[in-house]
Amino acid sequence: MKKILLILISFYLISCEDPIDIEIENGESQLVVEAILTNSLKEQKVILSKSGNYFDPIFNEVRNAEISILDNQGNVIKLENNNSSTYSFNPTELPFQDDLTYTLEIIYDNNTFTSLSKLKPVPPIDSITWFKEKVLFGDLDSIIIAQFWAYDLPGLGDTYWIRSKINGTYLDNISIAYDGSTGSGSSSDNIPFIAPVRFSITPNSSDEEDVLKYGDEIEVELYSISTEFANFWKILGDQINNGGLFATPPTNVPTNIKNININGPKAIGWFEISNISTDSATITRDKTNNKE
């Protein structure tokens, strides 16, 4: 009986190796908008492309659009395009101001797409500190853990996006804070950012190649964002990392880019204007970049 069962199992496993061809219908190509702007004095950019088929790795540039940004005080700036998918402007031509609402307008292929974003204030980063922590597993005895220090602004409803660069390269994690904490709807207010948020600037790895080392340069960027943009990042991150035994059903990533013609073609992507605070440090044995 056992021999018969083994033969049946072997036959089943072998039969599973037959190739199965699945035809996937090509979806409608959509305008893709990357418009994350800040109050930084660096050149600001909006990138346009068209979505492609699932197995098509080609980046489809959109070079013939017209893009403008308007504020609710009547100021307008048109973005320049040097025959590429990148449209840019000098931020000194339209200085962003707290609590003003800005409109992105894109005219492309006889359609007009718009989006709104309100600029919210952001707290300063007080300092970056670091310490050594012993590890129980792996080849290393200890690793350097860095953290930034900042206070949530007074008043509930503040949302922040934290990014960090190590030697010029961004970490690939997505770190969001709500009123200095990790949970949306938190009742905390005007507190120091809690430890999990502060530590998110440290590489989440114990591999020798990835951990912080003395001499590394670390840069921290703190953005003030809308809760809708935070939700965009959360869903996007879930879709990117979705898999395994507890994978969730795929879902559409939200967008705030709308065609004024509700029957016209749709767009995907996001428009957000954010204030940004920055700080940087060289990892040394001093354990802080605080000059005070």
d(CA 289, CA 192): 18
Question: What pLDDT score was predicted for residue 175?
Answer: 95
Question: What pLDDT score was predicted for residue 227?
Answer: 94
Whether residue 178 is predicted with pLDDT greater than 90 in this model: the reply is: yes
CB of 192 closer than 8 Å to CB of 157 = no
Whether residue 241 is predicted with pLDDT greater than 80 in this model: the reply is: no
Domain boundaries along the sequence of the chain = 31-120+252-275, 127-228+277-282
pLDDT digits (tens, 9 = 90+) for 44-63: 999 999 987 666 667 789 99
Question: What pLDDT score was predicted for residue 12?
Answer: 40
| Dihedral sign for Cα atoms in the order 271, 42, 158, 221 | positive
Question: What pLDDT score was predicted for residue 57?
Answer: 64
Rg (CA), the chain: 24
Residues in CB range of 192: below 8 A, 6 or more apart? 149, 150, 151, 152, 180, 198
Question: What pLDDT score was predicted for residue 75?
Answer: 93
What is the percent of the chain where pLDDT is above 90?
64
Right CATH number for 31-120+252-275 from 2.60.120, 3.30.70, 2.60.40, 3.10.20? 2.60.40
Whether residue 171 is predicted with pLDDT greater than 60 in this model: the reply is: yes
Whether residue 200 is predicted with pLDDT greater than 70 in this model: the reply is: yes
CB atoms within 10 A of CB 100: 15
Tokens 């004095």 correspond to what residue?
41
Q: Return the minimum-mean-pLDDT range out of 34-38, 68-72, 134-138, 262-266.
A: 134-138
Question: What pLDDT score was predicted for residue 90?
Answer: 92
